Amino acid sequence: MNAPELVLINARVVLADEVVSGSVLVREGKIADIDTQGTRSGEDFGGDYLIPGIVELHTDHLENHYRPRPGVFWEPLAALHAHDVQVAGSGITTVFDAVRIGSDQDLTDMLEHARKLVEAIRQGPEQGWLRAEHFVHLRCELPSHDVVSHFEALADHPLTRLASVMDHTPGQRQFRSLDDYKRFYARHMGQDQAQMQAYIDARQAEHERYSAPNRAAIVRHAHALGIALASHDDATLAHVEEAAEDGLAIAEFPTTLEAAAAAHDAGLAVLMGAPNVVRGRSHSGNISATNLVAAGLLDILSSDYVPFSLLQAAFILPQRIDDVGLPQAVATITRNPAKAVGLEDRGEIAIGKRADLVRVSGQTRVPAVRGVWKEGLRVS
């Protein structure tokens, strides 16, 4: 359905390099004009901000709706509906839904669940009720014995546009310190010291057997299909060198300043969690995202587990860091993630771009979403 002509006036329009007061004309789902002279009539923003629709590359939120409690699995389309309502209401108009692949002891039939989620993402647009545009992000757990077969089953899908190669083996990357790992998971897993050590030994054995060959196979297949690739939890120069050699585009959640700087120098887009910015620190004790912004090393923010954190973080950063203006902060949740996955048609308020737009009130302590448009049609 073609969107009607839309005029948004009296707005503080966040462009690539500046904020201007004026209006935006939308025609046939694209931005047709940006007027700073105040010559048009239309929907009056009353001085609210107009930013591009947010582009989210890594969110576990759909999986959390599908599996709201251990052992409880929700109807996939209903889970997608709940997830979609929340992301659109948070200003997200393009979302890469993370779907984990690779079975483990908690879920020995991981492919069955992944298939259900991918099929729901496929059906959503056909049924016409999705507010945001959804793509698939395959989170590939490399030490899993069946992750390659899962990838082969789901990668050749038109909505699969991103894959991350992950390795959560205790003693490296996110948890280089085994003591930190034990403290983090002891209460969650309900295991005594001997049981925890046996679990760690088993995970490390799987890493030694599977991780390297699985990574090589997935990287090779992803490149053949044109799927963007991301590393995950890089902690050392060796991790970054491996990512660069494999032709990866994104460095997700580097855990150290050294790794983030090396990824930036290698041309990878550095992605960190927006909750890290909002909270002021990592939940697992790793590098602060705000410190990476201050050092000029952060390109992309991801909501990870709280969709609204993206908008919060974008408005928090200019308050915390003198050299960061709102356009630069907004780019970390719009233009930069879109560019990293090859979506050149969105992520910026510029003539000819998709009219994915968000009205934001900055009058309160927490920015408020007051309207969301996808290709010129209001969706929230």
CB 207 within 8 A of CB 169: yes
Mean pLDDT on 81-85 = 97
Angle between helices 257-265 and 237-245 (to 10 degrees): 30
Taking 80 as the threshold, does the pLDDT of residue 251 lie above it? yes
If we measure between CA atoms, which residue out of 137, 20, 132, 189 comes closest to residue 377? 132
If we measure between CA atoms, which residue out of 209, 220, 288, 207 comes closest to residue 248? 220
Which value, to the nearest 10 degrees, does the dihedral of the CA atoms of residues 252, 255, 256, 260 take?
Answer: 0
Angle between helices 193-206 and 178-189 (to 10 degrees): 120
Helix H segments across 229-343? 237-245, 257-265, 274-279, 289-294, 309-320, 326-331, 335-340
Residue type, 287: I
Which one-letter DSSP state was computed for residue 233? S
Which value, to the nearest 10 degrees, does the dihedral of the CA atoms of residues 109, 182, 139, 144 take?
Answer: -50
Chain Cα centroid distance, residue 326: 20
What is the rounded average pLDDT for all residues in the chain? Answer: 92
Residue-wise pLDDT tens digits, 320-362: 999 999 999 999 999 999 999 999 999 999 999 999 999 999 7
Question: What pLDDT sits at residue 62?
Answer: 96
Please give the domain boundaries of the chain with CATH numbers for all domains: 1-52+346-380 (2.30.40.10), 54-345 (3.20.20.140)
Tokens of 345: 């048609």
Taking 70 as the threshold, does the pLDDT of residue 186 lie above it? no
Report d(CA 314, CA 301) in Å as an integer: 9
Residue-wise pLDDT tens digits, 87-102: 999 999 999 999 999 9
If we measure between CA atoms, which residue out of 146, 192, 215, 202 comes closest to residue 169? 202
